[in-house]
A and B are shown apart, each in its own frame.
Chain A
């Protein structure tokens, strides 16, 4: 059997990723356009092409950054601000490793456009710094809810958001409510203990 085809053409026959790129591309493009449009709505309507300088409010500080409309928040945080707590694990937010809080709500930085974040309060895992850990970080350390640690910052952000809504969370609620993050090392058993401890100790305090 001899056939030829180019790199993207053949893959689209077989690969789920390429399938998503194909059929899902329209939906994704619409979503991203909506984000750009929303950003434009906030300011004067304009078309943005190429690099442009905007200001992002990250961890309470204003940061001017030069970005392209296609740049994700994750890329800008990691490469321009050197805030590398949010991790690139999956491109679609499946893993939860790139979670940040935008206006207090958890969002995957890998599928959020940086340009759509103007005027919003972005809070990364590093918000409290290493010298001023909150109850969640302290509980993660005490209950060893980290192994390789690559998923840990995303988990910490998810737990902060979860406890803000469920400050008195029970074990059942924790097992039902924290399924947006993937850990490969298997820290789940200790994450449950850590979240219970943080909840009892006053949540985000």
Chain B
């Protein structure tokens, strides 16, 4: 069948999409009825707990478990394959021994009774300390990206040419900024820890998995267990946070499946909180030294930077591709040195690399404004002429204009450090811009329309709290002219048609595609049955307000239910697929976004308080305004968290994660976030682009915007995030010493 000309209804013709709709599972979540992986209790299930490694780098000498085995209620004690005696462990928190028991109490008692002998090995965790890393042999080979307006001659050594060009441009620059900035690693800290509740039925394995990847983990689990994918099914109706850390089933789920097989009992294994903070995911750190030159008007002409950081034992660090970020001076050189550490490996963290790249770049651009004594807004505006983002400078500037109005930027602005103080408190403004560039992922939707008018959709996607379930329902409801609450939306099961992993802001575009396609296809078949009854052609029909009617003649109509009864005895079943990357009128990729922060800083205590935050975001066509705005609030609050609060504190001598409890790993609370104003920027030309995901963009700019606001308040840069009271006071003290 030839592909239909799929489309979205015009803004004024849409009755469901673009509205504020309550999420379909909101009541289940708020009333405590929603069942998460942790909440699924299977008959005769065992509770599994694990001993984790207290050392950041060691070799296992011996493991002694008889005492654990003799604890009442313990059913099985097993050593993880990577922890057998003789094996090397390269980060703290790695799981060593698992205990399956009748109760949590028995499992915990047995874990405490396990004795392990370790040989301690050299530890290195100082990801900020480049020289120390070099001396310890932990610095990897640097990667450099360069671009210059002038090309080297045939006889020139390329590196020497770039070196000379950058030196010349810096010398000729009217303004030169030199700065040091950094973003420490933060964890994902999902409130539901990583894990599974699973059971075998014969040779078939049912896994309730806390996952962002319902359709993809089935195969991963089967491969790891050496069975075929059709023996495994994965279910996740609700997940307590993922943020990029729950794409894979994890080795502990595989181990739990083996224990379940061995004991013949269902097993629940979820990480403890401290284990989740240690090994459940974190993002790369990045520390930079920048030298940047600009012309007399503040247009940056040359960028030269070296940054370093860690992704764990493999080195890694913040991708050199995001430095500089959004702004792209015509002459630039960026170097990254990876540092191999005994810190747990990173996982994709919401908008991988971008929040760090945004700070490492745009703090320097703000320092240029400070140095020139001009408004940061004007420097950002001007430098959008040279940018790498796929979003147009025009859209960024429209968003800047709107954000400035919402913030009252021009009235509130003062030069850096020149605001009036209220006692020891000074206030400041800062801004940042960001980009994200992914389209919808592959997704298939199966629709069943029943002769009694009932509609069911099936899709192997997942709802991370982003509102995916509601988006699926709204798209089908819009197409059929029904109320979203009248449909049954089925997701979260790997036996449903394939849908991609929820990562990188790909989901809402992906599922909107598949659900719109399937429902347009189904509607066309229904129209073919209805048209003769209404004495018209299928092309003349439309579905609106629970009726199928002749366009322009609302009286010539039939109720949805009567129309469906024409199906006879058999439900109509339709399946449609969107392939990632295929040309489509329904979705697109590539967004911009502007954010502004207003902070108050106490020079005596070093405490930074959020007063107001404004975010303006383009995201193509909005399906559910309510959950889309929630994504915005959420991204911004997560950004406030990494800008001001959360910090993984590691003892440099032992490599131990010292604050691996929620009491000590500080996250902002309700009273810490100030007033937040969000605007989805959706003029006709942006809406016409179709659906674009929104998970990552709002989390990118807060760090840079808040850093710049703090600098504007104090007249002093607090270079490294999180900007804790101690860091603020240290920065003030350093500045006082210099002066």
Contacts and interface: CB of A to CB of B under 8 A. Distances in A.
Contacts of A145: 30
Given A8-B112, A89-B273, A188-B673, A130 B191 contact: no
Interface range, A side: 35 or more
Interface string B632-651: 01111110000000000001
B183 interface: no
Nearest to A188: B670
A17 B241 contact: no
A149 B469 CA distance: 14
Given A7-B115, A16-B664, A144 B630 contact: yes
B476 to A, nearest CB: 21
Given A7-B114, A14-B654, A148 B32 contact: no
Interface stretch (B119-127, B215-223, B519-527, B709-717): B119-127
Interface string B30-66: 1111111011010000010001001100000100000
B291 to A, nearest CB: 36
A185 B464 CA distance: 10
Interface string B203-245: 0000000000000000000000000000000000011111100
B435 interface: no
B188 to A, nearest CB: 8
A95 to B, nearest CB: 5
A88 interface: yes
Interface in B669-685: 669-673, 676
A6 B465 contact: no
A7 B38 CA distance: 27
Contact of A89 (B61, B116, B191, B274): B191
B662 interface: yes
B658 interface: yes
Nearest to B59: A2
Interface stretch (B20-28, B548-556, B686-694): B20-28
B118 A4 contact: yes
Interface in A162-191: 174-176, 178-191
Contacts of A151: 191
B475 interface: no
A140 B30 contact: yes
B122 A148 contact: no
Contacts of B117: 4-6
B401 interface: no
B661 A130 contact: no
Nearest to B97: A7
A77 B676 CA distance: 37
B105 interface: yes
A129 interface: yes
Interface in B297-356: none
Given A89-B662, A130-B31, A144-B627, A78 B112 contact: no
Contacts of A14: 54, 651, 654, 656, 658
Contacts of B118: 3-6, 10
B635 A186 contact: yes
A149 B103 contact: no
Interface in A129-149: 129-130, 133, 136-137, 140-142, 144-149
B114 A2 contact: no
Given A97-B191, A182-B191, A150 B36 contact: yes
A109 interface: no
Contact of B670 (A6, A18, A70, A191): A191
B74 to A, nearest CB: 14
B54 A11 contact: yes
A169 B51 CA distance: 46
A184 B189 contact: yes
Nearest to A2: B119
A11 B274 CA distance: 13
A153 B30 contact: yes
A126 B670 contact: no
Contact of B31 (A88, A129, A192): A129
A86 B664 CA distance: 22
What 7 A-B pairs come out closest when comparing CB atoms? A85-B32, A186-B637, A150-B240, A148-B465, A149-B29, A186-B634, A147-B465
Interface of A: 1-8, 10-11, 13-18, 20, 68, 70-71, 75, 78-79, 82-92, 94-95, 97, 124-126, 128-130, 133, 136-137, 140-142, 144-153, 156, 174-176, 178-192
Interface of B: 22-23, 25-36, 38-39, 41, 47, 51, 54-55, 61, 96, 103-105, 112, 114-122, 189-192, 238-243, 270, 272-274, 464-466, 626-627, 629-630, 633-638, 651, 654, 656-664, 667-673, 676
25 contacts: A4-B118, A4-B119, A14-B656, A15-B660, A16-B658, A70-B105, A79-B104, A84-B35, A84-B38, A84-B39, A87-B39, A91-B273, A95-B191, A126-B31, A130-B33, A133-B31, A141-B30, A144-B23, A147-B630, A150-B36, A153-B31, A184-B189, A186-B636, A187-B633, A188-B670
Given A91-B273, A148-B239, A188-B637, 15 more contacts: A3-B119, A4-B117, A4-B120, A6-B118, A8-B112, A10-B54, A10-B118, A15-B657, A84-B36, A95-B191, A125-B32, A144-B23, A148-B464, A185-B634, A190-B630
